[in-house]
Structure 1
Amino acid sequence: MSGVLLFGVGNDPVGYTLLALSVLTAVFTDRGLARHLALIAAGLLIISAVPLNADLSTQHMILMGGALTLAVLVPWLVSRFVYREEVIKFPVNTGRKWPLSAKLYLLGVVALGYLILPVYLIGTGVYQNWPDASEATIFGRLFLGVNAVGIWDELFFICTTFTLLRRHFPDWLANILQAVIFSSFLWEIGYQSWGPLLTFPFALLQGYTFKLTKSLTYVVSVHLIFDFVLFLVLVHAHNRDWLPIFLY
């Protein structure tokens, strides 16, 4: 609920109060849960300290990039060197080959992005939450920003939040909880209107996929493929004569 209020609603005072109460309540019920909720809360506090939008100015990109980096780094450092545990991991080289079903799923992600994203972004007008990339500098920064945030989503919401919550709740419940925060964050980034009907299932699928594959590389691949389609749709939405390949 604090994630919804901080990012989805923008009510920081109530959001911060609920965030503090969640950790405090856990202190009296489950100390282990309190320790891990404190890590998630630290990340949320850091993220909420900066404006979350698609402003591509150098100052904002540095500010937001620094905050997102700290939101992942601080929980990992505290967990590893203060708690002396190895719960938060970022499994890149798992040594496991992707089965055919995993490869076909990647193709399915492309198809879903192609069919859904133009209808959503252009039909609702929310593409205007991202800048026009007709200038070369903005084009490059938009591509970088979309992909960087996509990678960060998996580092924080899946490898950190979902992983920590799984230590204390059933996988299905931990997945729902991370998806609520995940989709709230994406709302503030720009996925508004009926965006949660798209982002919430996506967050659930990413959590479930990570549970099955145990691979950061794979869930990042899924996300970046989807985001590449997103980038192409955004470019087209602002300049309809560019990439006239979409249906909407």
Structure 2
Amino acid sequence: MTILLLALLPLSIGAIAAEKRAAPPPDPTEDPLILSGGFLTHHPDLRYRLLGIEAYKDKKLEKAMKFFVRAGYYSDKASQGMVGEMLWNGEGAPKDRALAYVWMDLAAERGYRGFLLLREKYWREMSEDERARALAEGPALYAVNGDAAARERLNRELRRGRRQTTGSRTGFTGNMQIIVPGPGGSQQVISGSKFYDERYWDPEQYAQWHDQIWMKPRVGTVDIGDVEKVEEVGTRIRSAAPNIDAPEPEVPDEPAPKPTP
């Protein structure tokens, strides 16, 4: 299992360095009841990341690659980093260090330090030809998967899901109850205040939640700690023409994602 994947298990609090700062809210993907209530329908970033992790753990590497690429299409930086790691190691696709650098540069786009460290490691180990190809091919990938395009796709999904909330215009979501059918005609109830926490649906708050998780994570055995600045020697790749309406990457048949134990 790659070093980066270890940082994704669990998806949130377990990936954060021990620091004196406010803890993020609980990760909804660790609650099986919330998942059974359809939470992931409008959170494709988390949905495809979970599917990618499952496939990777089952050694279905080609499927894992496709799921991580799909999650990256919805701006999931952890999944973009996994695509980079898998390309770097030749897992699920032929080894391609130039494209691996582009994907890790995408993962580091928001300044998340763990991904920045891996990106700089890649740059130092690449040949001049690989660096040149990364810079030549990178802008096309950025046009589709950079935040300027991918984050807006995700935001549209979050807003669409939020509009379907009964009572959202009057502020009574805390009084809602979501009924989840169970075996033998049984039912379970999810509190609306838990399921529809604004931190998981409002695009700005959702982005801040991810920043809390990934800004200073542990990647493998590297404790990022309070390093002030990552020394950058690699070249950042940018796209001048974001393509929000680029077609979604193909994915295998989707099983139901399982929460991380």
TM-score with structure 2 setting the length: 0.31
Higher helix share: 1
TM-score with structure 1 setting the length: 0.32
